[in-house]
Chain A
Amino acid sequence: EETGDDESYEYGKGDFMEHACKYCGVQNPACVVRCNVPSCRKWFCNSRGNTSGSHIVNHLVRAKHKEVCLHKDSPLGETILECYNCGCRNVFLLGFISAKTESVVVLLCREPCLNVNALKDMNWDLSQWCPLIDDRCFLQWLVKVPSEQEQLRARHISAQQINKVEELWKTNPDATLEDLEKPGVDDEPQPVALKYEDAYQYQNVFAPLIKLEADYDKMMKESQSKDNLTIRWDIGLNKKRIAYFVFPKEDNELRLVPGDELRLRYSGDAAHPAWQSVGHVIKLTAQEEVALELRASQGVPVDVNHGFSVDFVWKSTSFDRMQGAMKTFAVDETSVSGYIYHHLLGHEVEFQMVRNALPRRFGAPGLPELNASQVFAVKNVLQKPISLIQGPPGTGKTVTSAAIVYHMAKQGQGQVLVCAPSNVAVDQLAEKISATGLKVVRLCAKSREAVSSPVEHLTLHYQVRHLDTSEKSELHKLQQLKDEQGELSSSDEKKYKALKRATEREISQSADVICCTCVGAGDPRLANFRFRQVLIDESTQSTEPECLIPLVLGAKQVVLVGDHCQLGPVIMCKKAARAGLAQSLFERLVMLSVKPIRLQVQYRMHPSLSEFPSNSFYEGTLQNGVTINERQSPGIDFPWPVPNRPMFFYVQMGQEEISASGTSYLNRTEAANVEKIVTTFLRSGVVPSQIGVITPYEGQRAYIVNYMSRNGALRQQLYKEIEVASVDSFQGREKDYIILSCVRSNEHQGIGFLNDPRRLNVALTRARYGIVILGNPKVLSKQPLWNGLLTHYKEHECLVEGPLNNLKQSMVQFQKPKKIYN
């Protein structure tokens, strides 16, 4: 019992028992639990210290971990906390219920087990579900709070220190609090510059930023293991085994995309040995169901459906290619022309004209006629070694790019390389370029060959398979054999690979244009290709090193297309983002006073909808290529407050609401009104595919989806077909009607995501026919840009409140906008 106060235990020296709280060092087994995430396994105590939640709850929230295990010397012994019925281990969903008559308690998850009707007939009392985490702390009778004495002796960690160390653990799980004091750890990396002495200095700045981002990405993905998955088995057309399962989104940070590699595991049972296989995601459904095509078909336990686990297989390929491109840029003099080299580094270079004969007409066959600003862009670009084209929403960026590529290809400078950061953009561009009659090869990553594509006939793998000449019949035969048997003998496999490589090379070389993602330009299959002319679309959405990958294959003439007034590249690592990795090459070149050529006529939005974005983001230069008449939807009876002005700001005063359980964070009123608006649209004859609901937070997104399908006044299926997504996933796309639910209206925190003007621009410019914005003007008006938007809506009598069938102009007072400091 006597511990002795003089005990010479050195707190803060990392000299703890393994199960000591990683924050404060408390090591009483009754007070600590272990985080059960395999990559973490750290212990934390149940005291609050100087924070609003207990240490373990702090950790779970900050790290987004959700499973814990009790200490072996705790009253319950070594126990992973899980739902007694379904095995769910998410502690945020667990709570105790007790038997009606006996002193027996059991852990049960809130959703769905607590709501299973059959339970009511049993001996359990469901009225008193007692959540495991209560008031941001584990139930104190399950995990004891350390005594006052213990807490006084413990390390007094602050919330800031917790945030820092959690951030550190994301890249170095073994880091200690002491590491926070070490020089270098907290140091910000060297920020990006406007100009660089040489390519080595350039590399010295960007290489560490890419490394930071890569480390972060790796940690993020590898911590995303999921257990207890239910699998539905299927077989693909190529005879490969496909596993379907639901991979719930954890937060806004990680999104699965087709081509991602996952490892599926089964731990085995009496009838099945343990099994695992790696596969590629080939499809994602709106219901978050993932289709995983397995690499190996043998030994798959297809008669089992439950108890599978899945991990992310992180690949460094894209980051390696960026690092590789920077190195090539520095060491290989032929990587880009001298002019481009100096220009990219921000050196003063005397302007050079590109001496190429200009075409008489600037349009291209198979494409719509170009307007004046598009013709101007094409003509300009063809004469310059480096040019920037700014394409505001709906201004025909893709058509202009395709016309440029058409004329470049006709100049006889060799093959043209066309890239974009996203596969979707590459596909769209490939389709348009192909329409001009040029021979296009769309090069896909090997991992995406099974992913369906709208331009499949242009893809290299498709063309290889369907090349129909007699000399290729050997390859054809081997391919057939491989498809039927799943694999080939080693000598046949060798022969097959050699033949395939030769065919790939032949097809690629005979193309006029190669299309691939920026990262795809680093594919070994293009290693010996040279491209003098490179066009990069959506270049404002890629990082500089990513942009460099297609450039270092010999670029002499570079066209960057994009819009720096819309969203930039997504950088996960805050440190790297702060240092400037989120700034695109396009933006830096703009700052180096390369003047972008702006496309000025927009063909998407009803003129009323383009007015505010044009004035706020494009100095009022955006002209309308569509008339009010062309954007009138006959027969659609929707209560727009001002006829001919299909827009309104729907005032929502419903504050963020905390449900009775104290656990829910939502703007339910807003969600309910989204459903009403959607229903009104549907009733008036709009079809689901015409409607897009934009909402910033994953929580609200899921809530709206769920709410609409449960409470929607019309057929459930209709609501399921409506796309509800984040602003970011709507970039580059359009819908006829957009409903924007701002969700957050938090007095302390500001308005979070909505603060970024570029995101607001994107949100406001997706709709063709009409837009409804739901939000709280009192909170939003504090931000200058939002204040402007609200004033604009008010001036046009489009700021309204009340029931949808009786909208009245709102007299709500705005707040003074705060100054922005940059």
Chain B
Amino acid sequence: DDEIHVRQKVMLVDPEEEAEFDREFRALMQESLDSRKLELRARPTLNMMIPMNVFEGQGQGHGSGRVSEGESGDEGTEYEEGGGRKEVQVKVLVKRGSKQQTRQMLIPSDCSLVQSTKQKEAAELEE
């Protein structure tokens, strides 16, 4: 009966509140975008090289990549979750001050981010 009690408390989304929130959300998004367009007359310089050690195993020497729950194994491996959804491990490249670090993370294999990598890998294999 605990669950029934909880379900009774569920409220519906008020359409007017929702519209109002939506409006504010989009306004904020647009303002963010526009403010950047105005602000950056000078285009930023790029510093987007991928540090070589990213390719060498577990990113030694630059802070150990944190390993997310229950995974081990090599990169690029696909994991099957309880629900049957596949996940793939990626490295997230971040900066700590001026230092580059990587962190490991699982993302769903149907995410557009990994899709393209996988397609290319497949294409390369075929060649």
Q: Which residues on B sit within 8 Å (CB–CB) of A92? A: 28-29, 32-33
Q: Determine the residue in chain A with the shortest Cβ distance to B40.
A: A112
CB distance from A116 to the nearest CB of B (A): 6
A746 to B22, CA, bound (A): 12
Q: Is the CB of A66 within 8 A of B32?
A: yes
CA distance A205 to B58 in the complex (A): 67
Q: Which of B65-118 contact A (CB under 8 A)?
A: 66, 68-69, 75-76, 87-95, 102-108, 111-117
Query: Does A61 sit at the interface, judged by CB under 8 A?
Result: yes
A664 pairs with B30, CB closer than 8 A? yes
Q: Give the Cβ gap from A492 to chain B, nearest Cβ, in Å.
A: 43
Residues 61-116 (chain A) with a chain B CB within 8 angstroms:
61-62, 64, 66, 75-77, 79, 82, 84-86, 88, 90, 92-93, 96-107, 109-113, 116
Given A112-B44, A156-B10, A665:B30 Cβ within 8 A: yes
Interchain CB contact under 8 A, B68 and A75: yes
Does A786 sit within 8 A of B, measured CB to CB? Answer: no
- Residues of B1-59 at the interface with A, using a CB-CB cut-off of 8 Å, are 3, 6, 9-40, 43-44, 46-50, 54-55
* Binary contact readout A364-383 vs B (1 if CB under 8 angstroms, 0 otherwise): 00000000000000000000
Q: Flag the segment in A123-131, A415-423, A637-645, A753-761 that touches B.
A: A123-131
Q: By the criterion CB–CB under 8 Å, are B34 and A706 in contact? A: yes
B21 touches A246 (CB 8 A): no
Enumerate chain B residues within 8 angstroms of A124, measured Cβ to Cβ.
48
B62 an interface residue at 8 Å Cβ cutoff? no
Cβ contact within 8 Å between B44 and A85: yes
For the complex, is A159 an interface residue (Cβ under 8 Å from B)? yes
For residue A379, give the distance in angstroms from its CB to the closest CB of chain B. 50
Count of chain B residues near A, Cβ 8 A: 73
Whole-angstrom CA separation of A460 from B52 in the bound complex? 66
Query: Given that A99-B117, A127-B116 are known contacts, is A748 also in contact with B16, CB under 8 Å in the complex?
Result: yes
For the complex formed, measure the closest distance between the CB of B12 and the CB atoms of chain A, giving whole angstroms.
7
Least Cβ distance of B116 to chain A in Å?
5
CB distance from A633 to the nearest CB of B (A): 32
B56 vs chain A, min Cβ distance (A): 11
- A47-55, A175-183, A683-691, A796-804: which lies at the B interface? A47-55
Known A76-B92, A105-B93; contact A698-B19, beta-carbon cutoff 8 A: no
B36 to A702, Cβ gap below 8 A? no
Across the interface, do A160 and B17 meet the contact criterion of CB distance under 8 Å?
A: yes
Partner of B17, one of A105, A141, A159: A159
Contact among B23, B24, B33, B40 with A62 in the assembled complex (CB-CB below 8 Å): B24
Is A76 a contact of B94 with CB atoms below 8 Å?
yes
* A308→B12 CA distance, assembly (Å): 45
Which residues of chain B come closer than 8 Å to A386, judged between CB atoms?
A: none
Query: How many interface residues does chain A have, given as a range?
Result: 35 or more
Q: How far apart are the CA atoms of A158 and B17 in the complex, in Å? A: 10
Q: From B115, which residue of chain A is reached at the shortest CB distance?
A: A128
Q: Is the beta-carbon distance between A50 and B13 smaller than 8 angstroms?
A: yes
Q: Which of B44, B49, B94, B104 is within 8 Å of A116, CB to CB? A: B44
Asked if A85 meets B48 with Cβ closer than 8 Å, knowing A76-B66, A98-B113, the reply is yes
Q: B94 contacts A703, CB within 8 Å?
A: no
Q: A50-B12, A52-B22, A84-B94 are in contact. Are A130 and B34 (CB under 8 A)?
A: no
A185 at the interface (CB under 8 A from B): no
Residues of A within 8 A of B89 (CB): 103
Instruction: Give the residues in chain A near B9, CB-CB below 8 Å.
Output: 156
Tell me, yes or no, whether A57 is within 8 Å of chain B by CB: yes
State how many angstroms separate the Cβ of A147 from the closest Cβ of chain B.
Answer: 12
> Contact: B93 with A84, CB < 8 Å?
yes
Contact A104–B48 (Cβ < 8 Å): no
Asked if residues B23 and A665 are in contact (CB atoms below 8 Å), the reply is yes
Residues of chain B with a CB closer than 8 A to A658's CB = 26
Which residues of the other chain, B, contact A666 by a CB distance below 8 angstroms? 30
CA distance A712 to B79 in the complex (A): 53
What residues of chain A lie closer than 8 Å to B23, measured between beta carbons?
665, 746, 749
Whether B50 contacts A103 by the Cβ 8 Å rule is no
Distance (whole angstroms) from the CB of A165 to the closest CB of chain B? 14
Q: Chain A residues near B93 (CB, 8 Å)?
A: 84, 104-106
- In the complex, the chain B residue whose C-beta lies closest to that of A136 is B25
Q: Which of A103, A109, A122, A246 contacts B49, CB < 8 Å?
A: A122
Contact residues in A for B106 (Cβ distance below 8 Å) = 75, 141
Known: A53-B21, A85-B46. A93 touches B14 (CB 8 A): no
Query: Which B residues are CB-close (under 8 A) to A636?
Result: none
How far is A127 from B117 in the complex, measured between Cα atoms in Å? 11
Q: Which of B11, B28, B89, B114 has the most CB of A within 10 A?
A: B28
Distance between A52 CB and nearest chain B CB, rounded to angstroms: 4
Given A62-B24, A98-B90, A119-B48, CB of A158 within 8 Å of CB of B33: no
Q: Nearest chain B CB to A546's CB is how many angstroms away?
A: 30
Task: Decide if B36 touches A699 in the complex (CB within 8 Å).
Answer: no
Provide the bound-state CA to CA distance between A136 and B12, in Å.
17
Name 18 A/B residue pairs within 8 A (Cβ), A-sorted: A51-B21, A98-B114, A99-B50, A103-B89, A103-B114, A104-B54, A104-B91, A104-B93, A112-B36, A125-B117, A128-B112, A141-B108, A250-B35, A698-B31, A702-B30, A702-B31, A703-B34, A746-B23
Q: Which A residues form the contact surface with B (CB < 8 A)? A: 50-53, 57-58, 60-62, 64, 66, 75-77, 79, 82, 84-86, 88, 90, 92-93, 96-107, 109-113, 116, 118-119, 122-125, 127-128, 130, 136, 141-142, 152, 156, 158-160, 163, 246, 248-251, 287-288, 658, 663-666, 697-699, 702-703, 705-706, 746, 748-749
Q: A92-B33, A116-B44, A664-B29 are in contact. List 8 more A-B contacts (CB 8 A).
A: A57-B25, A84-B93, A105-B107, A130-B113, A663-B33, A665-B27, A702-B30, A746-B19
A-binding residues in B (CB < 8 A): 3, 6, 9-40, 43-44, 46-50, 54-55, 66, 68-69, 75-76, 87-95, 102-108, 111-117, 120-121
